Chains A and B, each alone.
Chain A
Amino acid sequence: MTTNSDHIPAQPSATEDVPTSPAKQVLRMLWRDKLAFFAAVFLILVILCAIFGPMLFEEEATRQDLRGRNAPPFDFSRNWLFWLGGDTLGRPLLARIIVAAQNTMMVAAGAVAASLAIGTTLGLIAGYSGPRTSQVIMRLADVIMSFPSLLLAVIVLYMLAPSVGNLIIVLAITRIPVYLRTSRAEVLEVRERMFVQAAQVMGASTRRIVFRHILPIVAPTLITIATLDFAFVMLAESSLSFLGIGIQPPEITWGLMVSQGRPYLTSAWWLSFFPGLVIILTTLSLNLLSNWMRTALDPVQRWRLEIARKKHG
C-alpha cells in the first residue's frame, strides 16, 4: 500500500534468484541480529535443560547437607554443580536451576498453549458468529479479565492440589482473554478481506473459512503474543510463589527458587540472584526473539534483517 513499493521493481520470480532453503534463510536473518541469535541459543540451552535436566541431575539437586548450607558461589575447588553456590539446605544451586527448568518450562508452555488454544477458538467463534454468541463470549472474557487471578489461584489450588498441572490451569484461564480479544479483533478485520469473500462465493463452509483462510492469517500475530506471554506467565508463576500460593516444594521452579531465596538477599544474595538471572535471561531472550520475529514476519521491515550491516551492534 505504501508508495515505497513503487520504488522497487516487481520481482516476478524472486525465488529463482534465491537458491537457499527457507531454513537457511531464517538462520541467516537470525545471525544478522546478534542479540536475537544469542537469545535463540540460550533458549535452546534452556529447552535442553528442561528435557534432560531432571534425568541427569535429579539426584544431586535434592541431596541435602544442612551443615553446608548457603555455600557461596564461585568456589571452583568444588564440584562444578556448586559453582553457583549452594542453597539453604546445602543443595547445589546450579543443579537445582537445571532441574527446575523442566517445571518452569512446563508451567509456562502448558499455560500458554492452553490459553492460546482455548482463547483463539473462542475468539474465532466470537469473530465469525452472530452478534448473540459473540456477545456472550465477550462478556465471558470481561468476567475472566476482572476475576482476580489470585482468587482463582486460591480457589483452584484449594479444591485441587497445588501441582504443576493445576498451576497451568490457573495461569491458562487468566491468559485466555488476551488471545480471545486479539483473535476476535483480527477475525473481524480478516473476514472482510477479499479472499474470504472469494471463498464464500465458491460456497466454502464457515468452518472452512475460519480454519483454512482466517486462522493462518491470524496465527503469526497470536504466536508473537504467545512468545511474550510465555515470559509473562513465568513472572506470574514466580509472583504466586512469592505470595505463597504457587507451586509447593519439593517441586521446584525458578520462580519458587527466587522467592525462597528472597529472605536471604542480604545474607546469601546468590540464592535468589541466580534463579532470578535465569528468569530474566529467558524472558529477555523471548522478548528479543519476538521482536526479531515481528520484524522477520513484516514484509515492510524485513529488509533490516536481510541487508548486511556495515557495523555490528
Chain B
Amino acid sequence: MKSFLGKRAIASAISLIGLIVLVFFLSRLTGDPTALYLPVDASLESREQFRELHGLNDPLIVQFGTYVSDLVRFDFGDSIRRSEPALDAVLRAFAWTLQLALITMSLVIVTAVIVGSLAAFHVGGVFDRITTFFSLVGASAPDFWIAIVAIVLFSVNLGWVPTSGTGTLWHWILPVAVLFIRPFGLILQVVRGSMISVLGSAYVKTARAKGVRNRPIIFVHGLRNAMLPVITVIGDQAAALLNGAVVVETIFGFPGVGKLMIDSILQRDFSVVLAAIFVTAVAIFVMNILIDILYAVLDPRIRY
C-alpha cells in the first residue's frame, strides 16, 4: 500500500511538472496581456512600463527560470488582474468550487445509486423507462440553457429561490440543481448497467437461494459490487466539477475556480492560470488516489 501510494505520488508529480511546463509555454502563445490591462488609448510608454513591471519583456526562457525558482519556494507569483498573490486568489475560489462539487456529487451519488439500482431491478419496467428517458433528456441539454430557464422559472416567475449569488443556503439550490443534472444522468446509466450485470451474477443467485429479501439483495449484495465500475465514472465527473463548472459559475455569479480560470485565461493572467491548474490538478490527483484506495476498501480482492 505504502509503495503504491509512493508510486502514485511520483507519477502524479511527473504529470504535474509536465503540465506546468506545457501550460507555461503554451499560455504565453496567446499573446501579450498589456493590451488588456491598459485602455486602448494608453501610450507606448505606459505599455512599455507595464511590461517592465510584470517582467513580460524578458525572454520567455528567463521568465520561465524566474517562475520555477519562485515556484520552488511555493510562490506562484502575483495576479496581474487582482494584484494579489495568485495562490490566494485560487485557493479562495477553490474553496467555493470544492463545496459546490462536494454537495453536488454527494446528492448525485446518493440519488443516482438508489434510482439506478431500482431501475435495474425491474429492467424494462415503467420506472426504468421513465427514469432512463428523463435522466437522458436532462443530460442532453446544454447547461447554460437549463440555468437561464431555471432562473426565469423558479426565481422570476415563481419567486422560490434567489436568482444567483451566494449568502444563504437558498442560494445554493439552483446552481447545485443545474450542476446535478448531467452527472446524475450519466452515473444513473452506469449504475443501472452495472447493477443489471451484477444482479445476473452467480453470487446473487446464491443469495436468492438463501432466501435473502430483494432489498438486501440489491443494496447489500448488488450495490457494493456494482459500485466498482461506477466509481471510475464518479471520479471523472467529480474531476470535471473540481476543474470548475465554468458555465454555471458564470451565470450564477458563483466565485469558483472555473470562473476564475476562464477570466484569467481571457485576461492573460498567467500566474493565476498556472496556480489554478496546479491546485485543481493536485486536487484531482489526490482524488484519484482516494478512488484507488476506495477500490481496495470496496473490493477486498484488490491489494496494492
Contacts and interface: CB of A to CB of B under 8 A. Distances in A.
Contact of A147 (B23, B31, B189, B246): B23
A255 interface: yes
A300 B199 CA distance: 12
A146 B281 contact: yes
A280 B15 contact: no
Give chain A's interface secondary structure class: helix
B202 interface: yes
A155 B31 CA distance: 9
Contact of B30 (A3, A158, A259): A158
A148 to B, nearest CB: 6
A135 B266 CA distance: 33
Contact of A2 (B200, B265, B284): B200
Interface residues of A, number: 48
B114 interface: no
A146 B140 contact: no
B29 A150 contact: no
Contacts of B60: none
Nearest to A304: B124
B141 A288 contact: no
B9 interface: no
Interface stretch (B66-74, B82-90, B128-136, B215-223): B128-136
Contacts of A284: 136-137, 140
Given A143-B15, A158-B29, A148 B243 contact: yes
B161 to A, nearest CB: 18
Contacts, number: 131
B145 A288 contact: no
A145 interface: yes
Interface of B is mostly: helix
Interface stretch (A46-54, A102-110, A237-245): A237-245
Nearest to B266: A154
B51 to A, nearest CB: 19
Interface string B182-199: 000000010001001100
Contacts of A255: 142
Interface of B: 11-12, 14-15, 18-19, 22-23, 26-27, 29-31, 123-124, 126, 129, 132-133, 136-137, 139-145, 148-149, 152, 189, 193, 196-197, 200-202, 205, 239, 243, 246-247, 250, 261-262, 265-266, 273, 276-277, 280-281, 284-285
Interface of A: 2-4, 35, 135, 138-140, 142-143, 145-148, 150-151, 154-155, 158-159, 231, 235, 238-239, 242-243, 255, 258-259, 262, 265-266, 272, 276, 279-284, 287-288, 291, 294, 300-301, 304, 313
